[in-house]
Structure 1
């Protein structure tokens, strides 16, 4: 295709991406579903055969594009979360109860479950099975917007696009959306230790000393460094933006929202430079920046910039993913890959999520408490997305992974299944839960 046609197609696709949230707000069709479909159709057009969409031919490009997309998403959800976390308050920690349960119970169980299916059913080597489980562990509520929190609530914002005086459910601090959003913000970084473990096993010669290094550095040290860098960066930038002594440096007063992008890049670069997990640094930086002046309208301005960039990057990834699917990306998919994908989406994640939030649950009347219907929703809506593509790209860029083509087909199919299934069920499910919550509130 000529350059002019490419510009036309991407321009029309961007216009579609801008319009879709309004068009699909109340119907069981999510924008990602439509974008993948558009990509599939574009892929059927007569491309020049010299243009390869095989990720094995562009490992570095795929790694960096998906990496930046995940980073933008992490900054966005970090700025959107209204529930603060005070390290000095045990009550504050307990309001995050469903998040800790999903991270410490559901994610390891999901990795284990997928690895077992990959080893037992698909016949993968243990290290490759572990890599597959780690790559598919992170969740991505950006691809099912109804199950993530909306824009940050700030002073002077009394309602959303609903009835007069009524807060948009997606902007309310309900435990379902909060749990799924915060889980996705943190597990994108916490899956990294298991990816590194798989790479260490693939490299061979993994002994007791290597196990100690993995636990001490990859599992604990890099997590702590990433979190501390993010918290410090967010605190420093927050002081500059809201409380700088010089009026010229007080960016919040000038309404310059590009600070969010600067914070994203600086936090990620600083964390990676000192060996920490950059994903965790970006998310905690966003939360720290949000907490520096919780109700300021500048928070919405920063979130708006990040949200637009996130929409653009997601558009690019989903369109290219759809195009690649019709140009051979799924040609290595077989019954084993289908089994892995369906097992994860329909069995492994729902069971792991239910165990996490359903065993000795927090009382539902308290912040962080869920009733049985909300537990089921949190357990089910573990959306797989761009993070899974990034982790696989990162792994194959650092180590020779057996069956790489099959892994790409399987991970891609899993992401598409998740986009379709969760995208189609999110709107009616969340609408039903929102109505039930409103009815209970009126009755009380």
Structure 2
């Protein structure tokens, strides 16, 4: 791939230079990166374990930075507005999506082992913070809609990971779980609570420390933004050290940090999003180069139906059900249901399962379906984001 690097770098540089003009046509950064990657990958589609491992680490760093950056925009007043909606989409919508997805997969993928059907549903459930950026920057969409989607996409990939691990473990062991032993609940509580605890404590303490050192002129302000990068790394590895969920930890740390630092301190969001967007470009490029050509060789017609249903049926129905009984309008429910793009989390978790769980019978199919979902989602959600205000008639919604 080395001989392609100069052309890849030049193509991405041109995109960055003309990104506003290109974006006016509904073309987003993930779409461009994937397209370049697929073009290169189809010419040299050899997939090796070392390259997959590189993508695994790159995607982890990218997700961590984007999750922290997204969380820093969610201050107390914003959280009060979106609390009920986000809570329902996370605590009800995500499990509903896994259950509905598993049932559909079981009906369609008749020759698959049951736990691998459930594993695929869990992989297709989380949404992507990077792919949702075109929505968050669209000022024609009401701010509280964007904030609610931001909060949900920031937390749901971390919440989906324990389900992925649980079903992957069952698929490997082919064990029949005892539903009453509370094993899934224990796993969820342990990973999520430890991750949230590490993030809350770390974000709060570092935020207070930052206020102190700036007030006392103890910190070189040029290094202030670098310190935020180091904070993200510290929280991520601290959560892993204590066996918590690292993605939940960095998102909660961003919330705690943003609501602790004084308004006069340097903002972290733009700096982190700059680095995060660069890493996201590389991650989607890797997906296009390494995984899309491989996925296309394993994909069948039924697999494609599974991908499409996960995007247009499973999540919309799950979100609609989760928001029943709230003050949300039908247009708002449809908005949240549709704009749940599959991206780095889906690809990262699929590669993680392939690398860390040996013995999964349909692993090639699982990775192929997950990568295809990312590819289709990037283009479908990217193009539709430009016309979201018209599609969901936000100008007709009466905000209460």
TM-score, length-normalised on structure 1?
0.81
Cα distance in 2 for partners of 1:242, 1:272 equals 27
Q: Residue 342 of structure 2 contacts residue 373 of structure 2 at CA under 8 Å; is this kept in 1?
A: yes
| Structure 1 residues 283-362: aligned runs within 5 Å | 283-293=251-261, 295-296=263-264, 298-299=266-267, 302-324=268-290, 327-357=293-323, 359-362=324-327
Q: 1:20 to 1:351 in 2, by over 3 A?
A: farther
Q: Does 1:130 align with 2:118?
A: yes
- Distance (Å, rounded) in 2 between the aligned partners of 1:53 and 1:282: 31
1:374 to 319, 324, 332: 332
Kept after mapping to 2: 8 A contact 1:231/1:284: yes
1:436 corresponds to: 395
Change (3 A) 1:63 1:104: same
2:86 counterpart of 1:116:
no
Please give the alpha-carbon distance, in whole angstroms, between the structure 2 residues aligned to 1:327 and 1:343. Answer: 22
1:14 Cα deviation (Å)? 3.1
SS at match of 2:72: helix
User: Is 1:178 aligned to residue 147 of structure 2?
Assistant: yes
Question: Gaps (5+ residues) in structure 2?
Answer: none
1:15 aligns with 2:17: no
User: Does 234-243 or 255-264 show the bigger shift?
Assistant: 255-264
How much is the aligned-residue C-alpha RMSD, in angstroms? 2.8
Secondary structure of 1:256 counterpart? helix
Match of 2:225 in 1: 257
Q: Per-residue deviation at 1:379? A: 1.4
Q: Among residues 392, 396, 400, which one is paired with 2:354 in the alignment?
A: 396
1:212 counterpart (182, 204, 208):
182
Shift of 1:144: 3.5
- The alpha carbon displacement at 1:240 in A equals 1.6
* SS of residue paired to 2:11: helix
Q: CA deviation at 1:297?
A: 5.5
- Provide the residue aligned with 1:365 in structure 2: none
Offset of residue 326 of structure 1: 6.2
Runs of at least 5 residues in structure 1 that lack an aligned partner in the other structure = 87-91, 151-167, 363-369
1:182–1:333 Cα change, 3 Å: same
Instruction: Note closer, same or farther for the CA distance 1:430–1:84 as it changes in structure 2 (3 Å cut).
Output: same
Distance 2:129 2:177 in 1: 37
How far apart are 1:418 and its partner, in Å?
0.9
Distance 2:300 2:100 in 1: 19
Shift of the alpha carbon at 1:61? Answer: 2.8
Shift of 1:43: 2.8
Number of equivalences = 397
Deviates more, 1:386-395 or 1:22-31: 22-31
Cα distance, 1:177–1:434 mapped onto 2, change above 3 Å: farther
Partner Cα separation in structure 2 for residue 200 and residue 328 of structure 1: 25
Deviation of 1:31 (Å): 2.2
1:326 and 1:194 map into 2 onto residues whose CA distance is 25
